[in-house]
Amino acid sequence: MKVTVESKKGLNKDIKVIIDKKTINNYMNDKYEEIKKNVVIKGFRPGKVPKEILKKQFGKAIFGEVLDKVLKDTSTKALDENKIKPAGQPKIDLKTFGEDKDLEYIISVTELPKVDTKLIENIKFNEYNVKIEASETDKRINEIAKNQKNFKEVADGVKSSSGDLVVFDYKATIDGKDFKGSEGKNTQLELGKDLFIKGFDNQLTGVKKNDEKVVDAILPENYPQKEFANKKAKFNCKILSVKKTEEVKVNDEFAKNLGTKDLNDLKKLISKQINDEYKNSLDALGKNQILKEIEKFKVNEIPENLIEEEIKILSQGMKEDEIKNKKKEFEETAKKRIKVGLILNEFGEQNKIKVEEHEIQAEVQKQIRMMPGQEKMVMEFYQKNPSALASLRGNVYEEKIINLIKSKAKANKKDITKDEAEKILKEANAHNHSHDHSHEENNKKKTQSKSKPQQVKKAKSIAPKTKKLKKVSKK
């Protein structure tokens, strides 16, 4: 194979590739040997069909397959040997080709610009540690205790009221007759919530232990036995007990019921939870700082085809005249995004960052946990949508790059209070809101912290291995 770079115009290159006919013939012979094993032609034993016969019947089709394979193999090699990363899909112009002929073609390619990642280590960003006061932890624990209702049985003569728990047996009838599902034992009903049958609760207000109470109620429209739906039923209730809420004491026993060793252990856990809530949001700000700093890096030239592709994404759903009016703005935004993507991707490649399959699956499980009760649906979604899975891969790839940058960059570490954290986040949200309206209002993009992952995913897509090359012309 002979490879020469014929012309250079900025990032645009024409690469001439010549494959001698001997190599082409070797490819052809390998293909003939491959199909000979399986082809069935009358008058010949399997595997014994002469090459001439195969050539006569399948020659054109075989040459087409061989040509595609040779172009794929050699073009990829030509780009790799010249250390050219294509920005988009290269094009092939066939000059000469055919059996017993040298293959000559031109690869027209726009190259990704060279980017310098050395300055990454000079990036400065804020890294916050939120100190959670004991009073804040106690406040959160007391809120949990309020929601942990503890019912205690009252004396026999005490009447029930809203909020109490009434325990009862019942036997119901419709028009004096029993029906399926008409009996219940040790039924518990918290009065005031109306969770059993509409209007049932109110009729149990004022009952005492050992009372017998007849409750009239209309069976619901969705009653399992359809023939009884919307029918009036009489419930003969025997009140077994009345229980009133008791203040939950915040102590070691309370903590154990929540799965911790003791109250001190619970406080540590809650304090960490509160800290993590703020840390995740503050870490996102640190990430945005890093990305903003990378935007300032110099890249000599950005391929026009990438800018055009990015503008298409930015202007999705917009009318032609709107796009025209915002063209300059879109171009600037596109250049920034592509530049950041190129730098991050180059940094990732230099540091051999890879995404393992188990990391993808961990991310899928994370998504599943965020949608309780819909686990099966979420799993099936990712199984049936490779693009969604690829998007998750892009997110994981980005996070690994950002985390590595954080470890190499200069962190300005600060201990702050919860109130200070809230102030910082409030100001950042206000800024992001303003930024969205001034720069990306019409295309309805997400806030800065959420739109950035697109940058890395884009960077990965603009530097692929050349697998399929577009044939432009044949001469």
Which of these three, 213, 246, 279, is where a domain ends? 246
When divided into structural domains, the chain yields a total of: 3
257 within domain boundaries: no
- Are residues 194 and 48 both part of a single domain? no
User: What's the number of CA atoms in the CB half-sphere (13 Å) around residue 227?
Assistant: 4
Instruction: Assess whether 423 and 303 both reside in one domain.
Output: yes
pLDDT band at 435 (very low <50, low <70, confident <90, very high): low
Q: Is the same domain home to 409 and 331?
A: yes
User: Does one domain contain both 226 and 286?
Assistant: no
Last residue of a domain, one of 202, 222, 246: 246
Mutual angle of helices 263-295 and 418-439, in 10-degree steps: 30
Least confident of 29-38, 68-77, 347-356: 29-38
What CATH number corresponds to the domain at position 314? Answer: 1.10.3120.10
From the list 320, 339, 341, 321, the residue with the least C-alpha distance to 331 is 339
Is 407 among the domain residues?
A: yes
Please report, for the domain that includes residue 229, its CATH number.
3.10.50.40
pLDDT average, residue stretch 156-175: 94
Residue 256 falls within a domain, yes or no?
Answer: no
Pair (237, 269) in one structural domain: no
- 255 assigned to some structural domain: no
Instruction: Say if residues 328 and 307 touch (Cβ distance below 8 Å).
Output: no
Whether residue 270 sits in one domain with residue 127: yes
pLDDT digits (tens, 9 = 90+) for 84-128: 999 888 999 999 888 888 999 999 999 999 888 989 989 999 999
Evaluate whether residue 178 is within a structural domain: yes
Assess if residue 254 is contained within a domain: no
Distance separating alpha carbons of residues 346 and 112, to the nearest angstrom: 11
pLDDT at 222 over 90: no
Beta strands 103-110 and 12-19: pairing type?
antiparallel
Length of the chain: 475
State whether 156 and 127 are in the same domain. no
Is residue 319 domain-shared with residue 432, that is, in the same domain? yes
pLDDT of 371 reads 85
Task: Indicate if 324 and 386 belong to the same structural domain.
Answer: yes
Residue 96's CATH number:
3.30.70.1050
* 238 and 314 part of one domain: no
Any domain includes 141? no
Q: Is residue 196 domain-shared with residue 305, that is, in the same domain?
A: no
Helix (H, G, I), strand (E, B) or coil at 376: helix
| Domain assignment of residue 85, yes or no | yes
Looking at the fold, whether 229 and 269 belong to one and the same domain comes out as: no
174 DSSP 8-state letter: B
pTM as predicted: 0.62
Q: State whether residue 76 is helix, strand or coil.
A: helix
Residue 358 has pLDDT above 50, yes or no: yes
pLDDT confidence band for 204 (50 / 70 / 90): very high
Q: Which domain holds residue 182?
A: 150-246
